[in-house]
Structure 1
Amino acid sequence: MQFHLDTKSFTAERAWDARLIGEVDTVTIRLHWTDRPYRWHVNDGPEVFVVLAGTVDMHYRQAGEEKIQRLEEGQIFLAEEGDAHVAHPVGEARILVVERRDSV
């Protein structure tokens, strides 16, 4: 099956709603729309964020210190298993997230 989605026009009813793009083995690929921060969390596997549209400030903790990495369109952030992080969009953002199915 082929799939086509215009990521620039994708929206959702509420922040962090997502459209499942597909699954590869035990990994999900989702397109998220948001205009609000997520919540601090730690995944039980790696998580890849690809900013497709907008800007996202990725907050993460390293050696107990909070750091912020600004991600522009086309930039990628990898949160390794156990990394505490939270994404804060600057306005609206569309983010492709690749992570283990049912990751917490």
Structure 2
Amino acid sequence: MKIFRARDFKADRPWGALDIADMGGITTRLHWTDRPYQWHVNDGEEVFAVLDGRVDMHWREGGVEHVATLEAGDIFYATVGTEHVAHPIGEARILVVERAGSI
């Protein structure tokens, strides 16, 4: 049994992570960042939950880019093949659930 205090977590680099669980190859990780990630496509589905801060989530569908601002408590679900990138607005803490080894 463990308790994780997301607001207290700060990594030593952008997108640094605290591993919370690996449930049969599906990982749950707490990320801290203050910088954008990179455009990518996961090899599986991804659940991206903003726990603290704000994030502009960019994704492409049919070659068209979309953007939504996610606040604390908002969740972005990326289906297989969804190209996306997260741009935090200041510092953000994000819970990511995805297949182990995903980008």
- With the shorter chain as reference, the TM-score category is over 0.9
Identity of aligned residues (%): 56
Give the alignment of 1:81-96 within 5 angstroms: 81-96=80-95
Distance (whole Å) between structure 1 residues aligned to residue 69 and residue 23 of structure 2: 28
Match of 2:48 in 1: 49
In structure 1, stretches of 5+ residues that fail to align are none
Deviation per residue, 1:48-92 (Å, 9 max, x gap): 100000000000001101110110000000011111000000000
Distance (whole Å) between structure 2 residues aligned to residue 34 and residue 76 of structure 1: 17
Tell me the SS of whatever aligns to 1:5: coil
Distance (whole Å) between structure 2 residues aligned to residue 21 and residue 97 of structure 1: 10
Match of 2:38 in 1: 39
Tell me the SS of whatever aligns to 2:73: coil
Tell me the SS of whatever aligns to 1:36: coil
Distance (whole Å) between structure 2 residues aligned to residue 58 and residue 44 of structure 1: 18
Distance (whole Å) between structure 2 residues aligned to residue 5 and residue 42 of structure 1: 28
Distance (whole Å) between structure 2 residues aligned to residue 80 and residue 5 of structure 1: 27
Give the alignment of 1:5-16 within 5 angstroms: 5-16=4-15
TM-score w.r.t. length of structure 2: 0.97
Distance (whole Å) between structure 2 residues aligned to residue 69 and residue 80 of structure 1: 16
CA root-mean-square deviation: 0.7
- 4+ residue segments displaced more than 2 Å: none
Match of 1:78 in 2: 77
